[in-house]
Amino acid sequence: MKDSIKIRVKDLTLIFGKRKKEALRLLTKGVSKTEILKKTGCTIGVDRATFDIKDGEVFVVMGLSGSGKSTLLRCLNRLIEPTAGEVFVNDDNITKKNNKELLEIRRSGMSMVFQNFGLFPHRTILSNIGFGLEIKGVDKKERLIKAQEAIETVGLQGFGEQYPNQLSGGMQQRVGLARALANNPEVLLMDEAFSALDPLIRSDMQDELLDLQKKLQKTIVFITHDLDEAIKMGDRIAIMKDGKIEQIGTAEEIITNPQSEYVEAFVEKVDRKTIITAETLMFKKYVTCLYAKDGPKGVLRKMREASVEVLPVIDENHKFKGFIWLNDVLSTQEEGKTSIMDTVKEEVPKVFPDCTVEEMMPLTTATKSPIAVIHPETGRLLGIISQVSIMIEATRFDKKEIIDLKKQSKEQ
């Protein structure tokens, strides 16, 4: 994923009703939506939404029915005209475009995939996929080539001459996706695209879209009301309530640091252990021993100062070598050795930063060792995770309860 911004949204506002200007003035003064409705008869559909979407990002907008998520999406390509605010794509202000320019953007720059597929029943699958190219004036031969490429991209080879009613719901949604991809858009707008599908088909479509995204690297704005789908699909998630964006962040950021009571309630039933990663749990500040430099006396001093019985060992390039335990250091010193190299235990648990709590849990039963978090390419030590931290996150107990449980286990 690139770091450049593909879409920039500033104070995007949509107001329904006749007295929009008055309602907007009241909104900017901080008057509540309920009061605005009473005074003007206007409803706030989108309330001053401001956010950036990165190039190649899957940006999920989620919320309950009536939260404004689909309305927000339609404001991005001006299928619904916003009352105020601006939308930039590649730093180009969409809100300033005339109808002709806007039509070209919808045809080529921002393709849309709808919940109800939107296929023409009297056209073949190939003809449906090539429809966007047809209205752009692309000649028939080129249309067929591009439509065939799109049909192969979504795995529907051999179905080109069939009609929509001959396909299952999941296959029809593939056709809708292929039609959007045939125009080779920079941005895909997907409005509840999978919500009408059966659960198993829906899961398959999610997987297929993610696989496609790895190859195509499109910028995708994905609307859903389902939190599990949002977590699975989104690089980042925007949670909406009553037309307002409550919070934006990765699934892990939102779950570990909800910024409102609404968001906290929204995510409280999420299975955290499948989302929270080693990078979140690890201690980034820790004392280390140098593999080929430190001797037993130096290690014992470090352990005493840090009040620990085990320390990570690294080489001169900060590459993780293993852990060293107090009892082993004492034995090494008693034997008169001046190096700890033979004392370091190298067969210890190591994980990458994106490893989840669920994936780390088996490591806590196999050993009493802390877990090292290392860089996947260089092997550099990035952090240390204690087993207690994993158990707390996995069970949602607090630290005291975990310690009590361990004591009870030992007594039994």
Q: Using one digit for the tens of pLDDT, what is the confidence trace for 71-90? A: 999 999 999 999 999 999 99
Domain ranges of the chain: 55-272, 279-411
Instruction: Please answer whether residues 309 and 368 qualify as being in contact, where contact means their C-beta atoms are separated by less than 8 angstroms.
Output: no
What's the rounded Cα separation, in Å, for the pair 74 and 95? Answer: 12
The pLDDT, as a whole number, for residue 399 is: 47
Task: List, in sequence order, the alpha helices (H) in 292-356.
Answer: 296-306, 326-334
pLDDT at 152 over 60: yes
Sequence letter at residue 58: V
- Of 242, 271, 219, the closest CA to residue 60 belongs to 219
Instruction: Please answer whether residues 131 and 124 qualify as being in contact, where contact means their C-beta atoms are separated by less than 8 angstroms.
Output: no
The pLDDT, as a whole number, for residue 402 is: 47
CA atoms within 13 Å, Cβ hemisphere of 61: 31
What's the rounded Cα separation, in Å, for the pair 113 and 99? Answer: 21
Tell me the mean pLDDT in the region 259-275: 88
Tell me the per-residue pLDDT of 93-139, one tens digit each, with 9 for 90 and over.
999 999 888 888 887 788 888 777 678 889 999 998 988 888 888 88
What's the rounded Cα separation, in Å, for the pair 86 and 93? Answer: 7
What's the rounded Cα separation, in Å, for the pair 266 and 264? Answer: 5
Q: Which residues contact 168 (CB under 8 A, 6 or more apart)?
A: 201
Question: Percentage of residues in the chain with pLDDT exceeding 70?
Answer: 95
Tell me the per-residue pLDDT of 380-407, one tens digit each, with 9 for 90 and over.
999 999 988 888 887 765 445 545 555 5
- How many of the other CB atoms lie within 10 Å of CB of 387? 20
Q: How confident is the model at residue 270 (pLDDT cuts 50, 70, 90)?
A: confident
pLDDT at 25 over 50: yes
Specify the CATH number of the domain 55-272.
3.40.50.300
pTM: 0.81
Quickly tell me which residue has 């919940």 as its tokens.
Answer: 115
Tell me the mean pLDDT in the region 365-370: 82
Name which of 49-63, 131-145, 369-383 the model is least confident about.
131-145
Tell me the per-residue pLDDT of 227-245, one tens digit each, with 9 for 90 and over.
999 999 999 999 999 999 9
The pLDDT, as a whole number, for residue 412 is: 45
What's the rounded Cα separation, in Å, for the pair 8 and 76? Answer: 10
Instruction: Please answer whether residues 140 and 190 qualify as being in contact, where contact means their C-beta atoms are separated by less than 8 angstroms.
Output: no
279-411 maps to CATH 3.30.1390.20: no
What's the rounded Cα separation, in Å, for the pair 173 and 163? Answer: 13
Question: Burial, 333: exposed, middle or buried (Cβ in 10 Å; 0-12, 13-18, 19+)?
Answer: middle
Question: Percentage of residues in the chain with pLDDT exceeding 90?
Answer: 56
> Cα–Cα distances in Å, from 209 out to 52, 59, 220?
22, 13, 10
Radius of gyration in angstroms for the set of CA atoms belonging to the chain, rounded to a whole number: 28
Sequence letter at residue 385: I
